[in-house]
Amino acid sequence: LALKQKKLSRKTKGSKSRKKFRKNVAKVYERIANSRQDFLHKLSRKLVDESQVIVVENLNVKGMVKNRLLSKSISDVGWGMFVNFMDYKLRQKSAKLIEVDRFFPSSKTCS
């Protein structure tokens, strides 16, 4: 992706080769998005098949993205999409998805 973006930046604006390369870079982005979505579908299916109730923490993703060291990794994961996938798959199975507040002291309760 980085190599293709670098080559794209060196093409002259408005040229035919730049338009072709933009489509090429868009295909790479689409492939990355599809592979991420495929992984999230498979992981959510595995978790849903193994359990009746899934409990997830309600994370402040917007606040976490403000951290410049972690923002790229956090954005790349797709947590919201993962929770949505689990939610609809659990509904089909008539199981439960429980969202817990991020300030809930779960580690103190369980120990």
pLDDT band at 44 (very low <50, low <70, confident <90, very high): very high
Q: DSSP for 56-102, please give it.
A: EEE--HHHHHTSTTTHHHHHHH-HHHHHHHHHHHHHHHT-EEEEEET
Instruction: Indicate the pTM of the whole model.
Output: 0.71
Instruction: Evaluate whether 47 touches 54 at the Cβ level (below 8 Å).
Output: yes
The tens digit of pLDDT for each residue in 71-95 reads 777 777 778 888 889 889 999 988 8
- How is the chain split into domains, by residue range? 2-103
The pLDDT value given to residue 106: 67
